[in-house]
Amino acid sequence: MENQVAHHDISWQKLLVHDTTTLNYSYLIQWHFVWIPISQSKKMSDARPKSIVFITGVFISNICWTEWKTFFEDNGYDCFAPAWPHKDFSAEDLRNRPVNDPIAKNTLNSLLDHYASIIRTLPAKPILIGHSLGGLIVQLLLQKDIAVAGVAIHSFPPKGINRFWLSFLKIIWEAMVLFTVGDGTYMMSFNKWRYTITNGMKYEQQKELYYLYAIPESKKVIREAFNCIAKIDFDRTHVPLLITSGGNDKLIPPSLNYSNYRKYSSNSSVTEYIEFRTHTHLVFGTPSWKEEAGCILHWLGKLNTIQ
């Protein structure tokens, strides 16, 4: 069923979304009805985007997307998961490098330029899917009008979101290394990985994932995530955006992701939020990854169905 209204000489069409809260499943869905221009909705349905660019967060190798890439490729998408600059090596190799490794030169600004340049080489605007700080990068790149949709998974909160959550501040405060000098790399310890990234998992699985994924990080990237570079224009019209969170995420708790979602105020844009009640911060290498990936796949398909 189609509904249309006249508004400033623009015809609008309602995007069919679920307006329910499913408490009997392991995820909590909070979606809403929104209005989008018919010209935009036809553009989405007539030419389904074929490419997905996956964007990695801090402390984790880009090989984390291997299962996700296979999953979405099996569902008809061309997928890319480029490494951050100076990180296109194995996790073990990167962990054994000195603190003055070129990784330390990375900044949030340089990462935005890095991914924007990759995206602009593609034949058409892609879908962007990012995890943690990669989710923040997705939100920032959507402001550059170089994508058709974005998914921010357990996203690092942008500037303007209340970030005074104890567990979040505790790990990020140390990662910023405010009480040390120098601009070298920072390597998260296994104990902190267990507490903030893989909490709730068995010890052997935590250790396996640490050696598989964990890599050193640039202090500059994390510091810049707290300044004006990480600012989002929440009032600006944007392409469809989905923000997800994990109910057991100790690093970036769902309250931060929900506040991030609620900040978007444009009534002419699709912004949606899903909380996976049992999920931790890590959405890779665990049985739960497919639940989150499957829900994102459904959301992307739903964008092409206008009723």
pLDDT in tens, 37-50: 434 444 444 456 68
Domains: count for the chain: 1
Q: Is the pLDDT of residue 13 over 60?
A: no
Q: Does 39 reside within a domain?
A: yes
d(CA 119, CA 227): 25
Strand order in the sheet with 51-55: 27-30, 271-276, 241-246, 149-153, 127-131, 51-55, 78-80
Alpha-helical segments (H) within 28-132: 38-46, 66-74, 91-95, 108-119
Q: Which domain holds residue 85?
A: 4-302
Q: Does 44 reside within a domain?
A: yes
Looking up tokens 């708790």 gives 253
Q: Which two tokens stand for residue 187?
A: 């390597």
Q: Does 54 reside within a domain?
A: yes
Q: Is the pLDDT of residue 6 over 80?
A: no
Q: Does 264 reside within a domain?
A: yes
Q: Does 307 reside within a domain?
A: no
Q: Does 245 reside within a domain?
A: yes
**CATH at residue 90:** 3.40.50.1820
The per-residue pLDDT for range 104-159, each reduced to its tens digit, is: 999 999 999 999 999 999 999 999 999 999 999 999 999 999 999 999 999 999 98
Quote the pTM value: 0.84
Q: Residue 20 to residues 2, 23, 179, 274, 295: CA-CA distances in angstroms?
A: 20, 9, 47, 11, 15
The per-residue pLDDT for range 214-269, each reduced to its tens digit, is: 999 998 898 888 888 999 999 999 999 999 999 999 888 898 999 999 999 887 89
Query: Which pLDDT band holds residue 25 (cuts at 50, 70, 90)?
Result: very low
Q: Does 267 reside within a domain?
A: yes
Q: Does 173 reside within a domain?
A: yes
Residue 174 is predicted with a pLDDT of 61
Burial of residue 97 (CB within 10 Å: 0-12, 13-18, 19+) is middle
Q: Of 5-14, 19-28, 50-59, 106-115, which range is least confident?
A: 5-14
